[in-house]
Every structure is written in C-alpha cells, then in structure tokens.
Amino acid sequence: MTKFPDRSLLDDGDLPVVGLARLASRETVRPRDAYGAHKWFARRLAVTARSLLVAAGTPSDGSFWKSYYDAPSYEGRTVLDPFLGGGVMVLEASRLGADVHGVDVEPVAAAISSFQGRLRSLPPLEPVLARLCETVGSRLAPYYRARDEEGCEETLLHAFWVQVVKCAECRHEYHAHPQFRLASDGIIDKQWVVCRGCGDINQAKKDAKTVGCRCGVRTTVSDGNMDGGAGVCPQCSHHQKLIEEAVRTGAPPSFRLFAVETIPSGPERRFTGAGRKIRAASSFDRKMFADAAAAAVAIEAETPGAIPPSPLPRAGVMDQRVL
Ligand SMILES: C[S@@+](CC[C@H](N)C(=O)[O-])C[C@H]1O[C@@H](n2cnc3c(N)ncnc32)[C@H](O)[C@@H]1O
Ligand SMILES: [Zn+2]
Ligand SMILES: [Zn+2]
C-alpha cells in the first residue's frame, strides 16, 4: 500500500476548480459509458469523484494535474460511500484500485451501482444488442418514423406532449404549456418557441425575448399558459389546478402530441449533430402514435398480461403526486 500524504491537496482545499469545471462540462455532453448503463437521477460526475480521490492522495506541494492523469494508487485501501446513489464515487475509487463498499436506502441505486461494478466481468454485449435490434428493434423501428408536412422522411428522436385543458369558465380549449420556450441551445445560439396563437414551432436566436410567427402573432418566450400548478385560460384568465382536472371532469386528462425532435432518416449514426430539428407535429407523426397504440392493444389481445394490468402500488410513496 503506497503511503498517503500527511497533508494532502484535499486538506488544503486546493483543487483547480476552473479546469475541472471545463472537464465537467464536457462530461455532461458525453457521459462515460459505464454510467450510461442505467439512468439515475442527480448522478455526480466522474470528474468530481476522481478529483476528490486524486486530491486526497496528492501531497500539499504536489501537482494536481500530474496526479490526475497518473492516478494515485488506492491499492490496499478501502473506500465506503454510505449514500452511494448512482455509484460514481465507488466506481471511480475502484478504478484507482480501492476495495469499495457502498450502501443506499434506495434498492434501485444499490442495484445500479452493483451492476456498474460488474461491467468489466460481463461477456461482450454486442451479440445480445444485435439480437435485440433484430427482434425487438425491427418491431419498434416502424413507429419511430416521422414525416414533416412537406413529406420529408425523418427519424423520431423525441416526442413532446402537452396537456389539453378546457376552461371551466368560458369553455375555451387551450394547451397548458408551462413556458412557450420549448428548448434552447447556447452552442448554436438558437431557441425553439411554441406560437401562442397557432401552436407552430418557431426558431429564433437564443436570447430573443419575443418571437413572431407567420400567423401574425408574436409570443413572449418566457410566458406560458400555466401559473404554478394551475392552467391559466388565455381567453378569460381563469385559473384551474391541473391536479384536480381528472376528478372535476370525471375523465383522464388529455394530452396532445404537439412537437417532435427528429433527424434525417437513413442508416443509424452514433452522433446526430447538425441534422436535428424541432418542429410542430404533423398528421403523419400523430398517425404513427395512433398506429403504435393500436399495435399495443393488439399485443395485449394476443398475449393477455403483456402490458402490466395492475395499478401502481401506493404503499411507501410519501408524496401526493399522481402515479
Ligand atoms: C446525492 S445522492 C449520493 C450521490 C453519491 N454519493 C455520488 O457521489 O454520486 C444521495 C443518496 O443518499 C441516499 N440516502 C438518503 N438517505 C439515506 C440513508 N438514511 N441511508 C442510506 N442512503 C440514504 C439516497 O437514496 C441517494 O441515493
Ligand atoms: Zn402562429
Ligand atoms: Zn376561459
């Protein structure tokens, strides 16, 4: 076991946070593969965990960056994370040679972290993936086709849905957008904004405060048809809480597919980059969803129980959010 310094860079709090933030911002765009094995909320970045471990193993007068890339050895040491969450600290520590232990009150966190730790000893997953693409993928792919109103063929990346609300006061029907700005991208200096008049999606420079539409209506991007959890009628300003909609109307809330993010269709590429586009959903896009819904009904008829029938259990759920 290599000797650890009496006084380390971590004791001094002497970490190059600006440089680490630069690495961190790259890691958020391209997360390390191991942490892509399973989604977990609020997962810390590997850069964060590694820099703390490295700083603890580097003497006060040592060079942080040399140590960061050479990696101090944790061989023979034990690292415990009693709140391991997405398991970043334990996996990074094990990469430096530590014997690691983790605990979490949330069993899913424990299962994910344990799986990440076993990745290296798994057989290659490519043949399994290829088989999944052939079997499941070939059945799902037809529903991920998209087509804009000009008839241009695309592949669906994301589908955006919004709750449709009927005003309890004046009966006007509206879309409960929390904000008309749907997305923004600082790197290409763009934002995508829903027109409050016709629902079309318009592109503008990222910092534009208002955006015009070919329907003649101008939309303030930070506005929306919601105030906290309540829908606000654009005609009469009546407020109604969306969480009470189902009870008030006696029907499930209704949602509409209003926008899609797509890439040009063609052979699958790992990096989708410049071809991405966000646009209003077309009648073809809505038909794709209807076809998928019909296929799900057919599958359930063919194999009863294929879609889990039971209500989600409420036992142990601490808040009142709709399940
Ligand atoms: C912010 S996350 C931890 C992040 C993790 N240490 C990392 O570096 O990526 C906090 C975790 O603590 C867990 N937790 C909260 N209370 C706990 C308790 N009493 N015992 C064990 N785990 C707990 C939560 O389930 C959550 O996964
Ligand atoms: Zn418009
Ligand atoms: Zn109204």
Q: Which residues surround ligand 3, an ion (CB under 5 A)?
A: 167, 169-170, 172, 233, 235-236, 238
pLDDT of res. 49: 97
pLDDT of res. 269: 67
Q: What is the pLDDT of residues 147-178, one digit of tens each?
A: 998 999 999 999 999 999 999 999 999 999 99
pLDDT of res. 270: 62
Ligand 1 centroid to residue 25 C-alpha, Å: 23
Ligand 3 centroid to residue 169 C-alpha, Å: 5
Does the beta carbon of 109 sit less than 6 angstroms from any atom of ligand 1?
Answer: yes
Q: Is the pLDDT of residue 5 over 70?
A: yes
Q: How many CB atoms lie within 10 A of CB 165?
A: 23
Torsion sign over Cα 298, 301, 307, 310? positive
pLDDT of res. 322: 67
Q: What is the pLDDT of residues 256-305, one digit of tens each?
A: 999 999 998 877 666 656 788 999 999 999 999 999 999 999 999 999 88
Q: Is the pLDDT of residue 24 over 90?
A: yes
- Please name which ligand lies nearest the alpha carbon of 47: 1
36-45, 78-87, 134-143, 247-256: least confident range: 36-45
Nearest atom within ligand 1 for CA of residue 106: 25
What is the best residue among 79, 83, 91 to mutate for testing ligand 1's pocket, by most ligand atoms within 8 Å of CB?
83
Q: Cα torsion for 123, 127, 130, 131, to the nearest 10°?
A: -100
Q: Is the pLDDT of residue 36 over 90?
A: no
Residues 6+ away with beta carbon under 8 Å from 230: 239, 240, 241, 242
More confident residue, 273 or 247: 247
Average confidence (pLDDT) over 220-238: 97
Q: How much of the chain exceeds pLDDT 70, in percent?
A: 97
Ligand 3 centroid to residue 274 C-alpha, Å: 41
Q: Is the pLDDT of residue 310 over 80?
A: no
Instruction: Tell me which residue of 276, 287, 270, 297 sits closest to 143, measured CA to CA.
Output: 287
Sequence letter at residue 158: H
Please provide the average confidence, as pLDDT, over all residues in the chain: 92
More confident residue, 309 or 284: 284
Does the beta carbon of 84 sit less than 6 angstroms from any atom of ligand 1?
Answer: yes
pTM of model > 0.85: no
E strands, 176-238, are 181-185, 190-194, 201-204, 210-212, 218-220, 226-227, 230-232
